[in-house]
């Protein structure tokens, strides 16, 4: 059996390459049908926070399946109630109310609609624009993509996208004093747009794949949060990737001591076995809807359904029981320390991150920080060389100037051992050597 287009009727994520078939998982490893093992250093797409093949999740899903499908307009259910209660205990105040959906993109769309409806209920109906950052990634559905500063995803779909304002994202590596890094850009943009037209600002508190694990300064968020408050602009924190313990706190905003008005969760919320995302809002926002229309004018068939919430509940309890959030914080030094040794390669310009989230940025020249030309496909090639050695990493491109900019993301399961961290660094160093040879041969 060949796993590639056009031999199989599966519409693959890539039509120009063959795939190996993963059959099983074990802790930090995925195992293919031939029995080959792959050390999953990115948790797939920064998702598998609990590791692979978790019996607790299987049991939780089987129990919820006994109830089957339950529509959120007709009933509530114990799994949705318990998951909301678990999250309410952990999110920073005044966040409180959780709305469950399936994918991260759906949750971003719902968060934007919630921000809009909040201002509409308050009679401030000119407020609809959402400011986002460049680079950024908030999802692939049309509004989420409209908010995303990721040119190679947007190019073909330009006519379908809404023209939201975007400001430069913090880039302490390349632009340490730029208005994006200091936070000044938000004030300027809100004033340019007119505060009466701006409903919200959306940002990942610690950047995921779009910027490459960028950790903005505390001063940045002090300024940005104050700017939002002063102009009556809601802060939507997209913690789909950086939330749920990934950076060593339950939520990345906790590193900075602020609570957003709306928090969006996904990926690590669900243990990787079913799609689950959440929009968590403050009492003030939900009460405003309750006093006004009496409902959030938004719904999807799988909102609040038992199986997805059961997976989320089992995930939160597993994180708690096994102290995995604390573990992500404790492993930050050994993890980033092991990756730091990759700077021995002339291709590595920067290594950065927080908790168990990291990026290794590739450059053509370490002095000037000039990115490699996109045509060289350095990030993809590095991921391919690593894969051949049994290591899974996540390539990301375009962050330096919208076109160029290569990095690989690392986000191993929060259960990763120190031995596995050393192995990740060893295999990635070997893959970097392979890449250097390959790029030199290509000239
Ligand atoms: N927001 C961020 C920060 C993400 O990293 C992603 C996915 O990578 C999304 C939103 C979209 O989530 P999904 O792919 O589940 O729709």
User: Residues 158, 164, 165, 170: is their CA dihedral positive or negative?
Assistant: negative
Which residues lie below 8 Å from residue 309, measured CB to CB, with a gap of 6+?
A: 64, 77, 79, 80, 82, 83, 100, 276
Rounded to the nearest integer, the mean pLDDT of the chain is 97
C-beta of residue 75 within 8 angstroms of C-beta of residue 261: no
Query: What percentage of the chain exceeds 70 in pLDDT?
Result: 100
| Ligand 1 atom at minimal distance to the Cα of residue 139 | 11
C-beta of residue 380 within 8 angstroms of C-beta of residue 395: yes
Neighbours of 241 (CB within 10 A): 28
Which residues lie below 8 Å from residue 149, measured CB to CB, with a gap of 6+?
A: 132, 133, 134, 135, 136, 137, 166, 169, 210, 402
Pocket of ligand 1 (CB under 6 A): 45, 103-105, 108, 137-139, 204, 208, 238, 240-241, 266
Which residue's CA is the nearest one to ligand 1's atom 7? Answer: 139
Which residues lie below 8 Å from residue 294, measured CB to CB, with a gap of 6+?
A: none
pLDDT given at position 443: 78
Helix pair 218-230, 184-193: axis angle to 10 deg:
20
CA distances in angstroms from 187 to 127, 163, 169, 193, 222, listed in the order given: 16, 19, 13, 10, 12
pLDDT given at position 348: 98
216-245 mean pLDDT: 98
73-102 mean pLDDT: 98
User: How far does the centroid of ligand 1 lie from the alpha carbon of residue 275, in Å?
Assistant: 11
User: How far does the centroid of ligand 1 lie from the alpha carbon of residue 367, in Å?
Assistant: 33
Q: In whole angstroms, what is the distance from residue 38 CA to residue 239 CA? A: 27
User: How far does the centroid of ligand 1 lie from the alpha carbon of residue 161, in Å?
Assistant: 17
**DSSP tag of 371:** P
User: How far does the centroid of ligand 1 lie from the alpha carbon of residue 148, in Å?
Assistant: 10
DSSP track, 58-74: HHHHHHHHTT----TTT
pLDDT given at position 2: 82
Q: In whole angstroms, what is the distance from residue 339 CA to residue 92 CA? A: 31
User: What residues does 397 pair with on adjacent strands?
Assistant: 406
pLDDT given at position 181: 96
Which residue's CA is the nearest one to ligand 1's atom 9? Answer: 139
pLDDT in tens, 333-389: 999 999 999 999 999 999 999 999 999 999 999 999 999 999 999 999 999 999 999
Phi, psi for 426 (deg, rounded to 5): -65, -45
User: Token match 């940005």: residue?
Assistant: 224
197-215 mean pLDDT: 97
Q: In whole angstroms, what is the distance from residue 240 CA to residue 107 CA? A: 9
Tell whether the model's pLDDT for residue 291 goes beyond 90. yes
228-241 mean pLDDT: 98
pLDDT given at position 407: 98
User: How far does the centroid of ligand 1 lie from the alpha carbon of residue 35, in Å?
Assistant: 30
pLDDT given at position 311: 97
227-235 mean pLDDT: 98
Which residue's CA is the nearest one to ligand 1's atom 10? Answer: 138
Which residue's CA is the nearest one to ligand 1's atom 15? Answer: 104
Tell whether the model's pLDDT for residue 1 goes beyond 80. no
User: How far does the centroid of ligand 1 lie from the alpha carbon of residue 184, in Å?
Assistant: 26
Which residue's CA is the nearest one to ligand 1's atom 5? Answer: 241
| Ligand 1 atom at minimal distance to the Cα of residue 242 | 3
DSSP track, 207-258: --TTTTS----HHHHHHHHHHHHHTT-EEEEE-TTTTTTTTSSSSGGGGTT-
User: How far does the centroid of ligand 1 lie from the alpha carbon of residue 277, in Å?
Assistant: 10
Which residue's CA is the nearest one to ligand 1's atom 13? Answer: 104
Best mutation site among 45, 46, 101, 105 for ligand 1, i.e. most ligand atoms within 8 A of its Cβ?
A: 105
pLDDT given at position 349: 98
Q: Which contiguous run of DSSP H or E holds residue 263? A: strand 262-265
Side-chain-facing half-sphere of 39: CA atoms under 13 Å: 21
User: How far does the centroid of ligand 1 lie from the alpha carbon of residue 108, in Å?
Assistant: 8
User: How far does the centroid of ligand 1 lie from the alpha carbon of residue 164, in Å?
Assistant: 18
| Ligand 1 atom at minimal distance to the Cα of residue 204 | 3
103-122 mean pLDDT: 98
């Amino acid at each position: 059996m060949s796993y590639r287009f056009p031999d199989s009727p599966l519409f693959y994520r890539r039509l120009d390459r063959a795939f190996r078939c993963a059959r099983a998982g074990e802790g930090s490893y995925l195992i293919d049908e031939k029995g080959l093992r792959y050390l999953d250093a990115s948790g797939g797409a920064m998702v598998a926070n609990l590791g692979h093949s978790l019996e607790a999740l299987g049991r939780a899903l089987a129990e919820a399946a006994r109830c089957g499908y339950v529509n959120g307009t007709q009933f509530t259910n114990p799994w949705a109630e318990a998951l909301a209660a678990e999250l309410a205990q952990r999110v920073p105040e005044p966040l409180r109310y959780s709305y469950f959906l399936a994918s991260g993109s759906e949750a971003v769309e719902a968060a934007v609609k919630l921000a809009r409806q909040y201002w509409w209920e308050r009679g401030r109906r000119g407020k609809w624009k959402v400011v986002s950052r460049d680079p950024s990634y908030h999802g692939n559905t049309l509004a989420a993509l409209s908010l995303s500063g990721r040119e190679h995803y947007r190019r073909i779909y330009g006519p379908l996208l809404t023209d939201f304002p975007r400001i430069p994202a913090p880039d302490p590596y390349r632009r340490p004093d730029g208005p994006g890094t200091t936070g000044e850009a938000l004030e300027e943009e809100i004033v340019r747009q007119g505060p009466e037209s701006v409903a919200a600002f959306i940002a990942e508190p610690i950047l995921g794949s779009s910027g490459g694990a960028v950790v903005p300064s505390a001063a940045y968020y002090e300024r940005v949060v104050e700017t939002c408050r002063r102009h009556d602009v809601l802060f939507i924190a997209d913690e789909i990737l950086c939330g749920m313990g990934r950076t060593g706190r339950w939520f990345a905003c906790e590193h900075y001591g602020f609570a957003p008005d709306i928090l969006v969760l996904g990926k690590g919320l669900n243990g990787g076995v079913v799609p689950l995302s959440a929009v968590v809002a403050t009492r003030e926002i939900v009460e405003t809807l309750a006093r006004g229309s009496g409902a959030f004018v938004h719904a999807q068939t799988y909102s609040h359904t038992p199986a997805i919430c059961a997976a989320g509940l089992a995930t939160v309890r597993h994180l708690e029981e096994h102290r995995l959030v604390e573990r992500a914080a404790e492993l930050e030094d050994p993890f980033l320390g092991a990756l730091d040794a990759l700077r021995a390669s002339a291709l590595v310009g920067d290594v950065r991150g927080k908790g168990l989230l990291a990026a290794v940025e590739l450059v053509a020249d370490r002095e000037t920080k000039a990115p490699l030309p996109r045509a060289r496909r350095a990030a993809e090639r590095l991921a391919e060389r690593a894969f051949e050695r049994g290591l899974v990493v996540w390539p990301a491109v375009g962050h330096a100037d919208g076109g160029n900019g290569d990095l690989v993301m690392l986000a191993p399961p929060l259960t990763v051992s120190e031995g596995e961290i050393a192995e990740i660094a060893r295999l990635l160093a070997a893959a970097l050597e392979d890449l250097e040879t390959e790029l030199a041969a290509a000239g």
